[in-house]
Every structure is written in structure tokens, then in C-alpha cells.
Amino acid sequence: MSHTAEKTTTKTIIRVKTRRHGELEVPEDKILEFPAGLLGFRDATRFAIMEDDRGLPFKWLQCLDAGDLAFLVAEPAAFFTNYELEIPDEVLESLEIQGEDEVLVLLILTYRQDRKVITANLQGPLVLNSRNQKGRQLVLQVASYSTRYPVVWLDRDPDSPASEERGEAPCSS
């Protein structure tokens, strides 16, 4: 991993060598800032969103402070018909969010190879202000929102009985 910040006359560009996306040059206006980092990754404060080129509704949240660190993420609408999230006032204020149209919500995804399933972390969603590029990971106190909620099954017919897992069985820890 290596990165250098380079001040030119008008803007900063971050150069970072990443495992998944090769060498990146990210201009300042594409840098997402998570001032508090992510839980367990306090020092990971700068990210960029990389599109996944498979035509799937997934993106990569690539860390610019550590090139090896990247999260597979997706907007809730990729999986859910009517996802709603109540964002505490304190979070809206800290991200300087002024209106609903500025809010971008991303869920961090985990591929569970053993079960051939992709789970979404519903309990710790990422909230971003798309205007000022600031973000934060929430900690929701919603009992039914698991950190490992299955959203995609990879080797099964989605209409098979496996879908009953959704209702009650988040993957156990």
C-alpha cells in the first residue's frame, strides 16, 4: 500500500495502489470522507466508490488510506422493495444533510463462501451526504436488522424453500 497526496494549484489528487482496482488517481471531488472511519477501521477515513463492471447493482467502496481494503456495497434498493431508514438528527447534523435527496445509503455486503450466500449488514448501514461527500456508519438498535441478513443466494433457485431463511434466520455468528 502506498499513497501520496499532491497539492496542485486547484485540487488534491490521491494516488493509491489498490489490490482490486490497480493504481488509482482520485481527484478531491471524488473522495468520500468518513471522519470517524468504519467500526473496527478507525483509520480508514477516505474512500472512493468504484463501479463494478459486471452490470450488477454492486459497487466497491475502496479505501484510499489502505489500498488492500475494499468493501462490496450496494444500495438497499438492489435487494429490497421498500427499505426505510430513520436517520437520527445527530447524524443528519454531523453530515450536514439538508434534504432527503442528498442522502445515499449503502449496505456493506459479505460473501459467505461456505453457504454460497451474500449477506448485507442491515444493522450498520453507511449513510452518505452526496453533496459534501461525508459519510458515517450507523449503529442501529433495530432487533430485526441483522448484521448478516441474506440477500442473494448464488447456487439456488430463489423460489426454492431456502427463501424462508429470510424471515427468521440471519446467519448465526
Partner 1 sequence: MLVLTRSREEGIVIGDAIEVKVLDIRGDRVRLGVIAPDDVTIHRKEVYLAIQEENREAARDSGQDLDRALESLRDSGIRKVDPPAPVDPPASGRNGDSS
Instruction: State which residue, 29 or 168, has the beta carbon closest to partner 1.
Output: 168
Which is nearer to partner 1, 22 or 55 (by Cβ)? 55
SS3 114: helix
Q: Which of 20, 37, 137 is nearest to 72 (CA)?
A: 20
| In the complex, least distance from residue 166 CB atom to partner 1, rounded to whole angstroms | 6
The smaller minimum CB distance to partner 1, of residues 10 and 141, is found at 141
The answer to whether 107 and 75 are in contact (CB under 8 A) is: yes
Closest distance to partner 1 from the beta carbon of 78 (Å): 6
List residues bridging with 32 in a β-sheet: 47
Q: What is the closest distance, in whole angstroms, from the C-beta atom of residue 108 to partner 1 in the complex? A: 5
Angle at the Cα of 164 (from 58 to 107), degrees rounded to 5?
A: 25
Q: How far is the CB of 11 from partner 1 (least distance, A)?
A: 29
Question: Where along the sequence are the contacts to partner 1 (CB under 8 A)?
Answer: 19-20, 38-41, 52, 54-58, 69-72, 76, 78-84, 90, 93-94, 108-111, 113, 116, 118, 121-124, 137, 139, 141-149, 151-152, 154-155, 158, 163, 166-167, 173
Nearer to partner 1 (CB atom), residue 110 or residue 132: 110
Residue 50 CB, shortest distance to partner 1, in Å, is: 13
Rounded-to-integer distance, Cα 105 and Cα 74, Å: 8
Q: What is the dihedral of CA 139, 145, 149, 152, to 10 degrees?
A: -100
- CA–CA gap between residue 38 and residue 124 (Å, rounded): 10
Instruction: Considering the complex, state which of residue 55 and residue 99 has its C-beta at the smaller distance from partner 1.
Output: 55
Asked if residue 40 lies in contact with residue 59, where contact means CB atoms within 8 angstroms, the answer is: no
